[in-house]
């Protein structure tokens, strides 16, 4: 096996220029999570500036910020302790790192062009078959978990993903039906004079409209909460957390993982809910003055920017996830193991943007959602008309 076979482990690590400051080197080291940065001119290595040398500069200076801004990285540079070619064998490179006591090596092409860095920990993990999984996305379906790296996927098939969209629309239709039913019941119970007052008074009508939207969203979320999807959703999050943290995929380890994940689609749901309610509120105001409309839109944008992620995390914790059963965790773990097996067999697998979009599963979910919506919009009235005709 050659180092070229581990091309996905070569960090690009763009080099510093000779006149870059130590302050810039410190910023890049922190951002990239590397122990050192190369310095190069015309893709030819000049040396490397190490984190230890920057730390010494900061510790000895009376004003570390000023010292780092004035010092040049090249003045702190050392020669690379180990430079390897991209056609050397990986086990040999790992042995060289061990013998020289260095945690990384610079990788160059046959003509000496700098290509990047390879880290000992990543090379070691690759050789023992513990490839670092790329960023993983997932979806919960009524038939189990779907996981994907973009290029690779495992778990629920496309029909199962479409079933998620169908389930979401079914919950939405049920929520609308319940709200409309209670609304009609209220009209029969409340006095006619009060209803006329509510309809004629603009402020009261606006409050009633906003309340109707809030109630509809609340009923939808309550129905979603009690659906089996929330437990499967939690199992998906917990398995993804375990994979990203390198934990063993056992029920005990996975159950200790959090149910909330920062890349969850619930955050998008929170964003859409805020936008929908906010836009309906603005439209309900009925103002035609451009300055008032602009002020309202700016206020809505500020509210969304500062609240949608927190609202998304709250929705995950209290609505869209529940503690999964052991069986659900086991099924999700099996999907995670299947995906990792593919990653180990095909490290660095790539896919076209279109393929990555398809593997994400959102298109299939939307298709299922719209399919049931079309049936509700066009199919149900047709069924009712036929039934009335036959009954007449």
- Looking at residue 1, its pLDDT comes to 43
What does DSSP say about strands 137-141 and 44-50: parallel, antiparallel, or unpaired? Answer: unpaired
pLDDT at residue 206, rounded to an integer: 47
pLDDT in tens, 280-289: 666 666 556 6
Query: Nearest Cα to 336, choosing from 264, 265, 261, 251?
Result: 251
pLDDT of residue 322: 95
Residue 270 sits at φ, ψ, to 5 deg, of: -60, -40
| b/e burial code for range 360-387 (CB count within 10 A of at least 16 → b) | bbbebbeebbeebeeeeeeeeeeeeeee
* C-alpha to C-alpha distance for 147 and 166, rounded to whole angstroms: 19
**Sorting pLDDT into bands at 50, 70 and 90, what band is 8?**
low
Amino acid 390: pLDDT: 63
Computed over its alpha carbons, how large is the radius of gyration of the chain? 29
Q: Could you tell me how many residues make up the chain? A: 392
Number of helices and strands in the chain (H, E)? 16, 8
pLDDT at 236 > cutoff 50: yes
What is the reported pLDDT for 87? 82
Predicted pLDDT at 3: 45
List, for residues 113-126, the tens digit of each pLDDT value. 898 898 888 888 77
Give the rounded percent of residues in the chain with a pLDDT score beyond 70. 80
Residue 376 or 76, more confident: 76
Residue-wise pLDDT for 244-260, tens only, equals: 888 889 999 999 999 99
The β-bridge relationship of strands 137-141 and 144-148 is: antiparallel
- The model's pLDDT over 316-333, given as tens digits with 9 standing for 90+, comes to 999 999 999 999 999 999
Q: What is the mean pLDDT of residues 226-233?
A: 95
DSSP reduced 3-state for 49: strand
Say yes or no to pLDDT of 188 above 80: no
Give the pLDDT confidence score for residue 330 in this predicted structure: 97
Least confident among 58-67, 205-214, 309-318: 205-214
Q: Looking at the predicted structure, is the pLDDT value of residue 194 above 60?
A: no
Query: What average pLDDT does the chain have?
Result: 82
Q: What is the mean pLDDT of residues 60-65?
A: 90
Average pLDDT of 366-377?
Answer: 89
Most confident of 1-10, 35-44, 84-93, 195-204: 35-44
pLDDT, tens only, 139-167: 999 999 999 999 999 999 999 999 999 99
Per-residue pLDDT at 191: 55
Contact 285, 293 (CB under 8 A): no
E strand map for the chain: 36-41, 44-50, 83-85, 104-108, 114-119, 137-141, 144-148, 153-155
* CB atoms near residue 295 (< 10 Å): 13
CA 37 to CA 32: how far, in whole Å? 9
- In percent, the amount of the chain with pLDDT more than 90 equals 38
pLDDT > 80? residue 106: yes
pLDDT value, residue 20: 92
Which residue ranges does the chain devote to CATH 3.10.580.10? 3-127
CATH topology of domain 3-127: CBS-domain (3.10.580)
Confidence of residue 204 (pLDDT cuts 50, 70, 90): very low
Q: Answer whether residue 81 shows pLDDT above 60.
A: yes
Instruction: Give 118-148 as a DSSP string.
Output: EEHHHHHHHHTT-PPP---EEEEETTEEEEE
Which region among 48-57, 131-140, 163-172, 247-256 has the lowest average model confidence (pLDDT)? 131-140
Tokens of 5: 């076979």
Q: What is the mean pLDDT of the segment spanning 56-69?
A: 91
The whole model's pTM is what?
A: 0.68
Q: Which helix (H) or strand (E) holds 270?
A: helix 266-285
């Amino acid at each position: 096996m050659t180092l070229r076979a581990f091309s996905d482990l070569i960090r690009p690590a763009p080099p510093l220029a000779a006149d870059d400051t130590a302050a810039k080197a410190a910023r890049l080291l922190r951002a990239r999570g590397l122990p050192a940065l190369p310095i190069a001119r015309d893709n030819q290595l000049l040396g490397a500036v190490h984190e230890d040398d920057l730390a010494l500069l900061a510790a000895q200076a009376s004003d570390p910020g000023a010292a780092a801004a004035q010092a040049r990285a090249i003045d702190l540079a050392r020669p690379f302790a180990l430079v390897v070619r991209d056609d050397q064998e990986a086990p040999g490179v790992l042995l060289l790192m061990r013998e020289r006591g260095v945690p990384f090596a610079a990788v160059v092409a046959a003509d000496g062009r700098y290509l990047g860095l390879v880290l000992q920990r990543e090379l070691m993990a690759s050789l023992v078959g513990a490839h670092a999984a790329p960023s993983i996305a997932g979806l919960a379906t009524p038939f189990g978990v779907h996981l994907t790296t973009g290029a690779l996927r495992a778990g629920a098939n496309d029909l199962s993903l479409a079933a998620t969209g169908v389930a979401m629309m079914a919950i939405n239709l049920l929520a609308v039906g319940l709200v409309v039913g209670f609304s009609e019941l209220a009209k029969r119970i409340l006095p006619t004079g009060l209803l006329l007052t509510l309809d004629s008074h603009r402020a009261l009508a606006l409050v009633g409209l906003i309340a109707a939207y809030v109630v509809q969203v609340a009923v939808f979320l309550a129905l979603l909460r009690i659906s089996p999807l929330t437990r499967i959703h939690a199992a998906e999050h917990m398995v993804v957390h375990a994979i990203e943290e390198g934990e063993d995929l056992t029920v005990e380890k996975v159950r200790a993982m959090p149910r909330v994940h920062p890349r969850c689609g619930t955050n998008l749901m929170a964003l859409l809910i805020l936008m929908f309610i906010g836009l309906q509120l603005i439209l309900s105001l009925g103002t035609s003055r451009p300055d008032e409309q602009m002020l309202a839109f700016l206020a809505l944008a500020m509210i969304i920017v500062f609240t949608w992620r927190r609202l998304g995390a709250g929705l995950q914790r209290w609505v869209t996830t529940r503690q999964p059963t052991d069986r659900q965790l086991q099924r999700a773990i099996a999907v995670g193991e299947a995906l990792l097996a593919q990653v180990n067999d095909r490290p660095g697998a790539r896919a076209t943007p279109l393929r990555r979009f398809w593997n994400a599963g959102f298109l299939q979910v939307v298709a299922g959602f719209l399919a049931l919506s079309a049936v509700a919009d066009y199919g149900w009235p047709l069924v009712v008309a036929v039934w009335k005709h036959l009954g007449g």
